[in-house]
C-alpha cells in the first residue's frame, strides 16, 4: 500500500545486536514455552527505525518478535516460536508525548513503563487505571495491548479500555493510526486545533484498535499509544471485607460495581495477599497467610473536587446497607493488612523483587474470563486439581477482578514455584495444563491465549479463528509478525 520500500541493510537497523548474551536473554522466559534463540535483537529509537525493521523483515522474510516491557517475561509471547527471528525491543522508545488533564488523556511510546508514566500523569492531576501490581519494567502500552484487567471496573467501560488510540506499522510496513488519531491531519496538526487522540473507534466502520489488542504482536508493531486517564481523587477511603466464603464477597462486588460506588475493587485470597505483603520469607508469608481470612474483597470509595467528604459519607452509608444485608462487614484492616496499605501498594507497580517471584523465584499464571455464577465452581475445581497434583490449595494465589463494569470477571491462579526444582516445576506445568483443560470444560473463556496451552484455548472456536486468519493475511501477508503466536 505504500511505495515499494528500499531494502535497508541489516547492519543499518537500529541497535542491532547478535551477541550471545543479548540473544540468550530473549530465548526463554518464566513460562513453559520452548526456548528458542533469536537470530538478532534490534532496539529501535523511533517510529522510523521500526518501519525500517518491518520493511527489512518483509523483504528477507525474517520473523519479528516485538517486545516492549523489560524482563522478566512470563507468558511466552516474547519468546520466538520459530528460528531465525529478530527481536524488536521497543523499550528504548521512552517518550511521553502528551498528558492532558482537561481531556483526561495521556500518550506515550511503548518503552514507557508504569513506573515512569505514573508520576507524570499525577503531576497533571490524573491517574491510570492500572493492572494489579505490574512489575516495574512493565510497559504501559504492552499492558493495554494485552487487554490486561484493570483495578477500577467502574472506569472499565469496554474491555479495550484504557487504550484510546495507537500508532503502528502493520505487518506490511504500512503506517496506521487508530481511532480519532487517524486524522484528518498529522498528530501535530491535530494538537494545533485542540484535538487529542482519545476516541477509540474508527476510522470508518471498524474499530481497528481491537484488531491489534490481544494479537501479541502478530498484526503489527505499535509505536505509541494513548490512553484514557482518570482524575486523581481528593479523598480516598479504602476498605477490606474478609470472608470464609467467596459468594457474599462476589455479591457485594457486583453491587459496588453496578452502583458505581467504588474505584479500585478486586478480590484476593489469603495466599496472594500474603505474597504481596510478606516481608521476610518464608516465615512472614506463612504467618500472614494464617492470619488472613481465606478471601478478601478490597475497595476504595473516593471523593473528587466537590464536597468529597459528603460523597464518601453517602456512599459508605449506601454500602453499609448492602453489607448488612449480606451479613458481612467492611473494615479498615484484615489479618494484619490495612486497607490503606493495600491502596498505597496497588497504586504503584510492584516493588522489586516482583511480588510474584518473591516466594519461590518463579510463578505460573493461569487466567481466563468468566461470569459471576461460575467463578466459585471453577475455583473449587482448580484448587482441587492442584491439591490432587500435590500443591496445597492454600499455596495457590487467586485473584478475581470484576471487569467491564461487572459484565465479566477475570479470574487468575498464581502458582508460585521454584524453577530450579524439577519436580516442583513439572507439577506446576501439569496443573497448568490440566487446570486449563478443566476450566475450559467448566465454561472458562481464555480470551488471551498465551504459552504452551494456547492451542487448547483457541481450538475451541474454529469459526472465529478462520476470520482472524483472513485479517492476518491482509495485515501480515508475509507472516513475519511473531509467527506461531495466538492462532497464526
Partner 1 sequence: MALSKDVYRAFEDVVGAEYICDDPVIMPSYHQTEFAAVLLPQNTAEVQAIIRLCNKFSLPFRPVCTGWTGKFAKGSLYLDLRRMNRIIEINEKNMYAVVEPYVISAQLQAELMKGGLHLNVKGAGSNCSAMLRGHGHLDQTTSGDDRNHLAIEWVTPAGEIVRSGSLGSSDEWFCGDGPGPSLRSILTSAVPPGVTPGVFTKAAMKVYHWPGPAKFPIQGVSPNYSLSEIPPNFMARYYSFPSVAKMFEAENKIGESEIAFELMGFNVAMVAANITTSNEEEEETFRRLSREVQGPGFFVIVAGNSAADFAYKRRVLEHIVAEAGGKSLASLEDPRLEGILLCQCIRISASIRETFRPGGMFSSIPVMGQRDLTIQWAIGAGKAKEPLIAKGLIVDDGGAFFGWGVEQGHLGKTEIFCKFDPQNPEAKAAVEAWHKEQSTRAFKERYFALLAGQDEEIGRGLSNYHIWWNEIQKELDPNRVSPEGGALV
Which region among 42-50, 198-206, 267-275, 290-298 touches partner 1 (by CB under 8 A)? 198-206
Spatial separation of the C-alpha atoms in residues 79 and 27, rounded to whole Å: 6
Distance CA 107, CA 133 (A): 21
- Report CA torsion sign: 335, 337, 338, 340: negative
Q: What is the smallest separation between the CB atom of 458 and partner 1, expressed in angstroms? A: 5
Q: Is position 311 an interface residue for partner 1 (rule: CB under 8 A)?
A: yes
Least distance (Å) between residue 256 CB and partner 1: 11
Q: How far is the CB of 426 from partner 1 (least distance, A)?
A: 26
Q: Report which secondary-structure segment, H or E, holds 159.
A: none
437 contacts partner 1 (rule: CB under 8 A) = no
3-state SS, residue 453? helix
Closest CB 338 distance from partner 1, rounded Å:
27
Cis peptide before 400 (omega within 30 of 0): no
Q: Is 434 in the site for partner 1 (CB under 8 A)?
A: no
Q: Which of 43, 55, 138, 209 binds partner 1 (CB under 8 A)?
A: 209
What phi and psi values does residue 439 have, to the nearest 5 degrees?
-70, -40
Closest CA to 233 of 301, 297, 298, 299: 301
Answer for which of 71, 115, 199, 326 binds partner 1 (CB under 8 A) is 199
All cell numbers assigned to 13: 537497523
Give the distance, in angstroms, between the CA of residue 162 and the centroid of all CA atoms in the same chain.
11
Q: Report the nearest approach of partner 1 to the CB of residue 185 (Å).
A: 4
Site residues for partner 1, window 342-381 (CB under 8 A)?
Answer: 369-373
Neighbour tally for 325: CB within 10 Å: 12
Does residue 147 touch partner 1 according to CB under 8 A?
yes
Name the minimum Å distance from CB 249 to partner 1.
14
Nearer to partner 1, 230 or 424 (CB): 230
95 near partner 1 (CB under 8 A): no
Part of the chain binding partner 1 (CB under 8 A), chosen from 82-90, 312-320, 326-334, 346-354: 312-320
* Helix%, strand%, coil% for the chain, nearest 5: 40, 20, 40
What whole-number distance in Å separates Cα of residue 18 and Cα of residue 67?
Answer: 16
Number of H helices, E strands in the chain: 16, 18
Task: Pick one of 11, 119, 194, 327: the residue that binds partner 1 (CB under 8 A).
Answer: 194
Judged by beta carbon, residue 231 or residue 419, the one nearer partner 1 is 231
Beta carbon nearer to partner 1, 13 or 468: 468
Minimum separation from the CB atom of position 189 to partner 1 (A): 5
Q: Which of residues 468-487 bind partner 1 (CB under 8 A)?
A: 468, 470-471, 473-475, 486-487
What residue ranges in 193-342 does DSSP mark as E strands? 220-228, 230-231, 235-243, 265-269, 295-303, 333-334, 337-338
**Does residue number 315 form part of the binding site for partner 1 (CB under 8 A)?**
yes
Q: Output 283 or 309, the one with its CB closest to partner 1.
A: 309
Answer for which of 216, 226, 378, 482 binds partner 1 (CB under 8 A) is 216
Of 137 and 213, the one with the shorter C-beta distance to partner 1 is 213
Q: In this structure, are residues 236 and 286 in contact, taking their beta carbons and an 8 Å threshold?
A: no
Q: How many chain residues interact with partner 1 (CB under 8 A)?
A: 99
CA distance 190 to 361: 47
Q: Which of 27, 314, 338, 381 binds partner 1 (CB under 8 A)?
A: 314
Site residues for partner 1, 390-419, by CB under 8 A, read: 404-408
Q: Which is nearer to partner 1, 183 or 336 (CB)?
A: 183
Q: Binder to partner 1 among 180, 269, 401, 432 (CB under 8 A)?
A: 180
**Cβ distance to partner 1 smaller for residue 260 or 388:** 260
Q: How far is the CB of 162 from partner 1 (least distance, A)?
A: 10
148 or 395: whose CB is closer to partner 1?
Answer: 148
Question: At a CB cut-off of 8 Å and minimum separation 6, what does 470 contact?
Answer: none
Applying CB under 8 A, among 16, 25, 36, 231 the residue interacting with partner 1 is: 231
Three cell numbers, residue 353:
523483587
CA–CA gap between residue 150 and residue 240 (Å, rounded): 18
With b meaning 16 or more CB within 10 Å and e meaning fewer, what string describes 159-179? Answer: bbbbbbbbbbbbbbbebbbbb
Q: Between residue 246 and residue 305, which ones bind partner 1 under the rule CB under 8 A? A: 254, 258-261, 304-305
**Residue 12 lies near partner 1 (rule: CB under 8 A):** no
Query: Other C-beta atoms within 10 Å of 2: how many?
Result: 11
Amino acid at each position: 500500500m505504500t511505495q515499494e520500500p528500499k531494502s535497508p541493510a541489516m547492519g543499518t537497523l537500529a541497535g542491532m545486536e547478535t551477541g550471545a548474551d543479548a540473544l540468550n536473554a530473549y530465548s526463554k522466559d518464566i513460562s513453559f514455552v520452548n526456548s528458542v534463540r533469536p537470530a538478532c535483537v534490534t532496539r529501535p529509537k523511533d517510529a522510523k527505525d521500526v518501519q525500517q525493521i518491518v520493511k527489512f523483515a518483509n523483504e528477507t522474510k525474517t520473523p519479528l518478535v516485538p517486545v516492549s516491557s523489560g524482563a522478566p517475561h512470563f507468558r511466552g509471547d516474547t519468546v520466538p516460536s520459530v528460528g531465525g527471528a529478530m527481536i524488536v525491543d521497543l523499550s528504548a522508545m521512552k517518550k511521553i508525548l502528551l498528558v492532558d488533564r482537561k481531556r483526561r488523556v495521556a500518550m506515550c511510546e511503548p518503552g514507557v513503563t508504569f513506573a515512569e508514566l505514573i508520576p507524570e500523569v499525577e503531576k497533571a492531576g490524573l491517574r491510570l487505571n492500572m493492572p494489579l501490581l505490574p512489575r516495574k519494567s512493565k510497559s504501559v502500552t504492552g499492558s493495554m495491548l494485552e487487554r490486561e484487567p484493570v483495578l477500577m471496573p467502574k472506569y472499565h467501560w469496554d474491555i479495550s479500555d484504557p487504550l484510546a488510540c495507537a500508532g503502528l506499522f502493520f505487518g506490511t510496513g504500512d503506517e496506521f493510526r487508530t481511532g480519532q488519531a487517524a486524522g484528518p491531519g498529522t498528530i501535530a496538526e491535530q494538537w494545533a486545533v485542540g484535538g487529542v487522540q482519545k476516541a477509540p473507534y474508527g476510522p470508518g466502520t471498524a474499530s481497528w484498535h481491537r484488531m491489534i489488542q490481544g494479537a501479541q504482536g502478530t498484526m503489527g508493531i505499535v509505536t505509541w499509544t494513548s490512553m484514557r486517564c482518570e482524575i486523581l481523587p481528593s479523598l480516598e477511603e479504602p476498605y477490606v471485607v474478609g470472608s470464609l466464603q467467596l459468594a457474599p464477597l462476589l455479591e457485594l462486588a457486583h453491587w459496588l460495581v453496578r452502583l458505581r460506588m467504588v474505584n479500585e475493587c478486586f478480590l484476593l485470597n489469603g495466599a496472594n495477599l500474603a505474597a504481596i505483603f510478606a516481608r521476610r520469607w518464608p516465615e512472614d508469608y506463612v504467618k500472614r497467610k494464617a492470619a488472613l481470612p481465606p478471601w478478601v474483597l478490597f475497595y476504595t470509595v473516593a471523593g473528587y473536587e466537590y464536597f468529597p467528604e459528603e460523597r464518601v459519607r453517602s456512599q459508605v452509608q449506601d454500602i453499609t446497607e448492602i453489607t448488612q444485608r449480606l451479613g458481612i462487614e467492611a473494615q479498615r484492616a484484615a489479618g494484619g493488612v490495612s486497607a490503606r496499605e493495600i491502596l498505597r501498594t496497588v497504586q504503584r507497580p510492584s516493588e522489586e523483587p516482583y511480588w510474584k517471584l518473591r516466594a519461590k523465584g518463579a510463578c505460573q499464571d493461569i487466567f481466563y474470563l468468566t461470569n459471576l455464577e461460575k467463578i466459585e465452581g471453577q475455583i473449587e475445581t482448580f484448587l482441587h486439581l492442584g491439591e490432587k497434583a500435590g500443591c496445597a490449595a492454600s499455596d495457590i494465589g487467586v485473584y478475581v477482578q470484576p471487569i467491564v463494569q461487572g459484565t465479566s470477571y477475570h479470574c487468575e491462579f498464581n502458582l508460585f514455584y521454584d524453577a530450579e526444582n524439577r519436580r516442583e516445576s513439572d507439577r506446576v506445568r501439569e496443573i497448568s495444563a490440566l487446570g486449563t483443560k478443566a476450566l475450559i470444560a467448566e465454561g472458562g473463556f481464555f480470551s488471551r491465549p498465551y504459552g504452551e496451552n494456547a492451542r487448547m484455548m483457541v481450538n475451541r472456536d474454529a469459526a472465529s479463528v478462520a476470520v482472524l486468519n483472513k485479517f492476518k493475511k491482509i495485515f501480515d501477508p508475509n507472516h513475519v509478525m511473531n509467527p506461531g503466536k495466538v492462532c497464526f
